[in-house]
Amino acid sequence: MRMLDDDVKRSVFKTIEAERLFRYDCEVPYESITSRLEDAFAKAVGSRYCVAVNSCSSGLFLSMVTAGVAPGDRVAIPSFTFIAVPSAVVHVGATPMLVEMTEDYVMDLGDFERKIADGTVKALMLSYMRGRVPDIDRVMKLCERYNVLFLEDAAHSLGVLYKGKQTGTFGISGAFSAQSNKMIDGGEGGLFVTDEKQIAFETMLYAGCYEDNWKKHFGTHEDEARLADMTNRYPAYNFRMSNLSAAALLPQISKVEARAERFNANYGKLVEIIGAHPNIRIPSFTDGVRPASDSIQWEFVGLTDDQIARIGSRLIERAVKIDIFTGGNARCFWNWGFFEHAEHDCPATRNMISRTVDMRLKLFFDASAINAIGKTVVHTIDEILAET
């Protein structure tokens, strides 16, 4: 299985041959492939509206702007996530508030409740880091109780379902990533979804839909007067998606389910091989979650920092591509030097991240690759233990 199959290549080539790489370079109403992608994506995830943008980060930013997060507000985010998430909060002029994680790599809802109880938190940007999802029912109840806007960073959770429903479709809006390390690969790209028409229209305009180009989006013809009135009232950030990305992405949407199955099968096999090792703790999934595990995380237990570092470098020498969260890693919250936060804000998360291994499970990995990786991991741990 590959990410960029022949149908993807054909779709991109056709777009180039047509010499229409700009999404609004088309006739009214909506022949552009970017508009078709929006329509297909909304249907696939079960949202009413989708606006294609140039990255998930742009989507997260617009998600906060359109929900009413304003400069000076506080926005809760899980403390284990990618640097893009606190960055988007800072771009809005708001301040990120970090919430501890549990040992299953999901946001700690006890800590979340403690931190929002004083009523000073405007929004939650719930990041499903590495596709890991907390108890969303409880998240929504807490947000409702404390009047917190619920927004979702589904950058890495396309294909991850909670109680059968696509993550990213529970909050006011959600944003998915189509950057090459995610479930569908457009090089770069973001897909913003919402059920609220006003939010969808504002997002479209902020993203750089100028003049009457809204006529080239699906589902706008009933709202001509409203959109004509809205035009030129919203500053354009020009976050538009290129037809080239959309052409690569459109044929991949129908493959998400098969990819998720493949990833989950590989994940299961790898856990069978390494999960029983006494120095490895495999996190569990929240009840009701159907994962799409294009990566695996585990925690080293009973090992010193030095042993973990040596296992890490030896695995890399042996071509097992793993990440450990050291040095300038962009996922370590203590490295986020662009807003004020006490470094020891989230001691439990910090401790957990420093004992974590993260590994991508590529789509092309087959059973024998997984077997070789698993055996190398087990063997390398035992070897380092024997040396010390």
> Which residues, 6+ apart, have CB-to-CB distance to 40 below 8 Å?
250, 253
For residues 153 and 358, which CB has a smaller minimum distance to ligand PLP in the complex? 153
Q: Nearest CA to 214 among 192, 195, 240, 185?
A: 240
In the complex, minimum distance from the CB of residue 172 to ligand PLP, in angstroms, rounded to a whole number: 17
Cis preceding linkage at 283, omega within 30: no
Give the nearer residue to ligand PLP in terms of CB position, either 42 or 126. Answer: 126
74: β partners? 95
Q: What DSSP string describes 213-256?
A: GGGGSTT-GGGHHHHHHHTTSS-----BPPHHHHHHHGGGGGGH
Q: What is the DSSP string of 165-183?
A: EETTSSSSEEEEE-STTSS
57 binds ligand PLP per the rule CB under 6 A? yes
Nearest distance in Å: CB 182, ligand PLP: 6
Q: Toward ligand PLP, which CB reaches closer, 160 or 204? A: 160
Q: What's the order of all strands across the beta sheet hosting 190-194?
A: 49-53, 190-194, 173-177, 149-153, 123-127, 74-78, 95-99
Contact pick of 45, 84, 123, 160 for ligand PLP (by CB under 6 A): 84
Is 82 a residue that touches ligand PLP (CB under 6 A)?
A: yes
Cα–Cα–Cα angle for 32, 172, 137, rounded to 5 degrees: 130
Residues contacting residue 2 through CB under 8 Å, at least 6 positions apart:
363, 364
Measured in Å, how far apart are the chain's first and last C-alpha atoms? Answer: 41
Binding test (CB under 6 A) with ligand PLP, winner from 12, 45, 56, 123: 56
**Is 362 designated active site?**
no
Q: Does 208 bind ligand PLP (CB under 6 A)?
A: no
Footprint of ligand PLP on 142-181 (CB under 6 A): 153, 155-156, 177, 179
| Ramachandran region, residue 129 (left: φ > 0; alpha: ψ -120 to 50; beta: rest) | beta
Binding span for ligand PLP by CB under 6 A among 63-71, 82-90, 203-211, 314-322: 82-90
Tell me how many residues contact ligand PLP (CB under 6 A): 15
Provide the 3-class DSSP secondary structure of residue 161: strand
Based on the shown chain and the rule CB under 6 A, indicate whether residue 190 belongs to the binding site for ligand PLP. yes
Q: In the complex with ligand PLP, which residue's Cβ is closer, 64 or 274?
A: 64
The active-site residue, picked from 115, 122, 182, 269, is: 182
Q: Counting contacts by CB under 6 A, is residue 8 touching ligand PLP?
A: no
For ligand PLP, give the closer residue by CB, 188 or 299: 188
Q: Which stretch binds ligand PLP (CB under 6 A): 52-60, 138-146, 199-207, 212-220?
A: 52-60
Contacting positions for ligand PLP (CB under 6 A): 55-57, 81-82, 84-85, 127, 129, 153, 155-156, 177, 179, 190
The catalytic residues are 182
